Amino acid sequence: MNKTHIDRRNFLTTAAVAGAGLATAAARDWAGKNPTRYPDPDLISLDPRFDKYKIGNTPVQRLYTSPNALWTEGCAWNGVGRYLVFSDIPNDLQLRWVEDDNRVTVFRKPSGNSNGNTFDYRGRQISCQHGHRRVVRYEYDGTETVLAATFDDKPFNAPNDAVVHRGDDSIWFTDPGYGSLSDYEGNKGPLELKEAVYRIDAKSGKITKVTDDIHKPNGLCFSPDLSQLYVSDSGTGKNIKVWNVDGVKLKNGKEFASMKALKAQGGDRLATTKELAQKNTPSLMAAGGADGIRADVDGNIWASAGWVGAGYDGVHTFAPNGDRIGQIRLPEICSNVCFGGRKRNRLFMTASQSLYAVYTNATGAHIT
């Protein structure tokens, strides 16, 4: 390997680490008219294990924002089309950000108040529709196939997020019911099923409940080797749970990581593992919640985080053992994340009225 390349890489990594101590909560120009001083102060290592995933000369970018946007969600990367699809649930539409010229256009309206989106391994888009309480797939000709609408002869609560299993093409989705609690993100109505996680068999179409041992199952993702399924609980749990995957079943469910966190002195970021060990922190923060989550190839979990405020909201990164090792601060509540771009090393983040992105030294474990 070229020595110049090695030296440059080491320099950028060192710069990213050194800049962590200079992070402040100072207001930045998210409109992009004024450049961000590197290393970006909103990319924060809470533990040395996060250092290698930070790039010293890259910024967190706001790719899109609109005063007309209400709640952006469900980002999913399409590698063939080189675009990102995401939802604006209350506005009943899907948007598309195109990589080549950064334009954002309306992709689908109405969308059934779609929330989570993903793509299967044939390139077809799958969406969770709050308004119609179902999971659908968009075929190559643009028609819509309903994959899941009822279970035990009862309508789903309001499917929220979905992932596709790389091994058998099955679709796993969560059904917490947020879209049926009011008319804002869907259609208000009773929840007739206990909140749960489900699996759709790719060959037979059979729907199986895989677990209901969780209050409000929300975002979900598989580990790199598909042996584990992670699910965020945005209800009373305020955590991320993990199960072992045994074919079509889940076993040994437990807490993987808590969304409770301690602030550092000054309160503009979370406490580092070193500060936690020294107990040099104030009282416990109010626990926020994780929403959408994704795994990278090293087994780290990148979780959207919000509902606390400055110094907490954004993205929290957890090591494979559940330790919180990194933080990306955003000025809005983050709702979902996904890896994309040509090398699957760009983290996209939907947040309130906006869409953000940042290049990382991590690689997404799955195609979207």
Calpha distance 320→295 (Å, rounded):
9
- The superfamily in CATH containing domain 3-359 is TolB, C-terminal domain (2.120.10.30)
Using 50, 70 and 90 to split pLDDT, how confident is the model at 289? very high
Residue in the block written with tokens 């334009």: 103
Evaluate if pTM is beyond 0.85.
yes
Tokens of 232: 């965020």
| Nearest C-alpha neighbor of 125 from the set 149, 150, 142, 103 | 142
Residue ranges per structural domain of the chain = 3-359
Q: What is the mean pLDDT of the chain?
A: 92
| Nearest C-alpha neighbor of 214 from the set 191, 190, 193, 241 | 241
Question: Tens digits of per-residue pLDDT, 220-231?
Answer: 999 999 999 999
Residue-by-residue DSSP string for 291-339: EEEEEBTTS-EEEEEESS-TTT-EEEEE-TTS-EEEEEE-SS-EEEEEE
DSSP 101: T
Calpha distance 138→119 (Å, rounded):
10
pLDDT at 333 over 90: yes
H-run or E-run covering 88: strand 83-88
Cα within 13 Å of Cα(362), Cβ side: 29
The pLDDT of residue 246 is 95
For 22, 79, 127, 286, the CA distances from 311, given in Å and listed in that order, are 14, 33, 32, 12
Beta bridge partners of 258: 239
Amino acid symbol at 39: P
334-340 and 83-88 strand pairing: unpaired
| Upstream peptide bond of 110 is cis (omega within 30 degrees of 0) | yes
Using 50, 70 and 90 to split pLDDT, how confident is the model at 282? low
Tokens of 8: 């440059």
334-340 and 196-200 strand pairing: unpaired
Kindly provide the residue ranges of all beta strands, DSSP E only, lying in 139-216, ordered along the sequence.
144-148, 150-151, 154-155, 162-164, 171-175, 196-200, 207-211
Using 50, 70 and 90 to split pLDDT, how confident is the model at 280? low
The pLDDT of residue 24 is 43
Q: Quick one: average pLDDT of 203-226?
A: 98
- 344: region left, alpha or beta (phi > 0 left; psi from -120 to 50 alpha): left
Question: Tens digits of per-residue pLDDT, 117-172?
Answer: 999 999 999 999 999 999 999 999 999 999 999 999 999 999 999 999 999 999 99
What is the sign of the dihedral through the CA atoms of 343, 344, 346 and 348?
A: positive
3-class secondary-structure state, position 286 = coil
pLDDT at 235 over 80: yes
Calpha distance 231→217 (Å, rounded):
6
Kindly provide the residue ranges of all beta strands, DSSP E only, lying in 125-189, ordered along the sequence.
125-129, 134-138, 144-148, 150-151, 154-155, 162-164, 171-175
Largest pairwise CA distance in the chain: 65
Judge whether 132 and 162 are in contact, CB under 8 Å. Answer: no
Calpha distance 311→308 (Å, rounded):
8
Judge whether 9 and 281 are in contact, CB under 8 Å. Answer: no
The pLDDT of residue 264 is 83
